[in-house]
């Protein structure tokens, strides 16, 4: 997902516009009020029914009360920026899916909504929890910052919780020594450029049951290097993440577990699909993320 630090940019924009507005209230507005009072006093005995005198009065008031350009912009943008800042920092933030690592659950070009308070309210930019709400659960689709790219948003599924022993062998998942059941759905032909096609294989679509959370998962008929064999123990305060497109997902199998401090929120809905600028937006797959 995007590597632009939008929270930092938005926070700075809110601070700058807010400080400018505050400076105006404390220091700049008073001289303008004095000038306006002087204009009113100057024109108090003048007959304003006269159009020329009325125009002169209005011009004088506009000149006396004119705000600096920076103040005008700050007053215009601060309320909007603050509302956006509040919504995306504490409530809901939109994202677009840029890769196929979560196919078939999420497609390239899906626009999703992320619940920012599902796991607790966090300090913007610093991302530290100041009001805990809940912990990630197995099967959640979560947005986070991975350890190898701490400024880039990633989205994967929560597989392992703190203390879990995770094993992935021949594209079969084991949690704490117990095989996670997979129910066959169908076989299919992979998209161009996918690992399955590179290995000249079909893919298999299955329903995987993660402690009662059933979701669809893609795997090649023969495991890629990501699916042959691996074992991990999830340390305290961390989570093991995997993509639903198991042979085409750089995840905790590659770069390790995700710290609680790196969590952004829980994906809960797809609200639009728009793959690129030249395509037509679609609402066919709108719904809850499972």
Structural domain boundaries in the chain: 6-90, 97-288
Round the average pLDDT of the chain to a whole number and report it.
Answer: 92
- DSSP secondary structure string, 183-204? EEEEEEPPPTT-HHHHTT--EE
* pLDDT at 192 (0 to 100): 67
Give, as one character, the DSSP assignment of residue 260: G
* pLDDT at 27 (0 to 100): 96
* Helix/strand/coil percent split, the chain, to 5: 30, 30, 40
Question: Strand pairing partners for 183?
Answer: 207
Least confident of 6-10, 120-124, 281-285: 6-10
- Checking if the pLDDT of 103 tops 80, the result is yes
* pLDDT at 82 (0 to 100): 95
Confidence of residue 198 (pLDDT cuts 50, 70, 90): confident
- The radius of gyration computed from the CA coordinates of the chain, to the nearest angstrom, equals 28
Residue 13 CB-half CA count within 13 A: 18
Task: Check residues 148 and 45 and name the one with the higher pLDDT.
Answer: 148
* 241/141 Cα distance (integer angstroms): 9
Phi, psi of 42 (to 5 degrees): -65, -35
Catalytic residues: 101, 156
pLDDT (tens digit per residue) in 157-187:
999 999 999 999 999 999 999 999 999 999 9
Phi, psi of 13 (to 5 degrees): -60, -45
* pLDDT at 190 (0 to 100): 76
What is the strand order of the sheet 165-169 is part of? Answer: 178-179, 172-175, 165-169, 229-233
* 128/264 Cα distance (integer angstroms): 10
pLDDT (tens digit per residue) in 207-260:
999 999 999 999 999 898 889 999 999 999 999 999 999 999 999 999 999 999
* 180/160 Cα distance (integer angstroms): 12
Is the peptide bond prior to 107 cis by the omega test (within 30 degrees of 0)? Answer: no
Task: Check residues 198 and 140 and name the one with the higher pLDDT.
Answer: 140
* 75/69 Cα distance (integer angstroms): 10
Could you tell me which CATH number the domain at 97-288 has?
2.10.109.10
Tell me the CA end-to-end span of the chain in Å, nearest whole number: 19
| Nearest CA-CA partner of 167 in 158, 157, 156, 178 | 178
* pLDDT at 3 (0 to 100): 58
* pLDDT at 200 (0 to 100): 76
The pLDDT > 70 percentage for the chain reads 98
| Nearest CA-CA partner of 289 in 5, 4, 95, 131 | 95
* pLDDT at 102 (0 to 100): 96
* pLDDT at 246 (0 to 100): 95
């Amino acid at each position: 997902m995007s590597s632009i630090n939008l929270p930092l940019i938005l926070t700075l924009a809110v601070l700058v516009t807010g400080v400018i507005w505050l400076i105006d209230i404390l220091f700049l507005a008073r001289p303008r009020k004095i000038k306006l009072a002087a204009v009113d006093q100057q024109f108090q005995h003048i007959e304003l029914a006269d159009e020329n005198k009325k125009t002169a009065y209005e011009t004088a008031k506009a000149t006396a009360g004119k705000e600096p350009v920076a103040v005008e912009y700050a007053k215009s943008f601060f309320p909007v920026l603050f509302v956006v800042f509040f919504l995306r920092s504490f409530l809901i933030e939109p994202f677009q899916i840029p890769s196929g690592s979560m196919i078939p659950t999420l497609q390239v070009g899906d626009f999703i909504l992320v619940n920012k308070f599902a796991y607790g309210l966090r300090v913007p930019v610093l991302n530290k929890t100041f009001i805990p709400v809940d912990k990630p659960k197995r099967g959640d689709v979560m947005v986070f910052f991975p350890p190898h790219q701490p400024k880039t948003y990633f989205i994967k599924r929560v597989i392992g919780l703190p203390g879990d022993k995770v094993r992935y062998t021949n594209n079969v998942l084991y949690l704490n020594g117990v095989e996670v059941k997979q129910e066959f759905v169908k076989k299919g032909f992979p998209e161009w450029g996918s690992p399955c096609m590179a290995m000249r294989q079909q893919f298999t679509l299955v329903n995987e049951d993660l402690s009662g959370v059933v979701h669809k998962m893609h795997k090649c008929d023969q495991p890629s290097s990501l699916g042959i064999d691996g074992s991990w123990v999830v340390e305290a305060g961390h989570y093991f993440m995997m993509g639903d497109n198991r042979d085409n997902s750089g995840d905790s199998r590659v770069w390790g577990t995700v710290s609680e401090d790196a969590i952004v929120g829980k994906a809960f809905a797809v609200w639009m699909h728009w793959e690129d600028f030249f395509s037509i937006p679609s609402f066919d797959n709108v719904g809850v993320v499972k």
